[in-house]
Structure 1
Amino acid sequence: MKKMNKACSGLIALSLLAGLTVAVAPTVQAQSSQAGSYVNTKSKTVFYKNCSAVRKAGKAPLYKGEPGYRLKLDRDKDGVACE
């Protein structure tokens, strides 16, 4: 098991003493090679390899400001990717 920082382990210990159930979410990248995308749960960033991956994930079209949008996916640079 990986080491936890003191604040996190202290919070878990207090929760256990109070009889609460504790769920710890991982902060690693969840990767889907099939869809060609990944989500970094720690920073909440989304990356799609290409528009095919966006469509496979059911997220097309992507608008500027949405997770996963980037200029490389927006051919005509109008703020809408994978249209």
Structure 2
Amino acid sequence: MNKQSKIVSIALASALVFSVSFQFAPTVEAKKSKKSHKSATQSSVYYKNCTAVKKAGKAPLYKGDPGYRSALDRDHDGIACEK
């Protein structure tokens, strides 16, 4: 391998590393912002019991939904206030 080929190989490898880093960085940031938004939404919704959930027309609640909490999920299957 001559000197010019080595330089091209190093340049391509550097470009590949930069490209991979650049492509994944926004994805990680997007996931972080989704998680923080989701947590804020969940903490702002509270149902005293399943009757309140049903009156609000939100039953059933799935794990991750605003207002879901394990105390409302009797069988701990990730679905609260099942009918």
Q: Which has the higher strand share?
A: 1
Give the TM-score taking structure 1 as reference length: 0.48
Q: Which structure exhibits the higher relative contact order, with contacts defined as CA atoms closer than 8 Å and separated by 6 or more residues? A: 2
Instruction: Tell me which structure has the larger Cα radius of gyration.
Output: 2
Instruction: Compute the TM-score of the two structures, normalised by the length of structure 2.
Output: 0.48
Larger relative helix fraction: 2
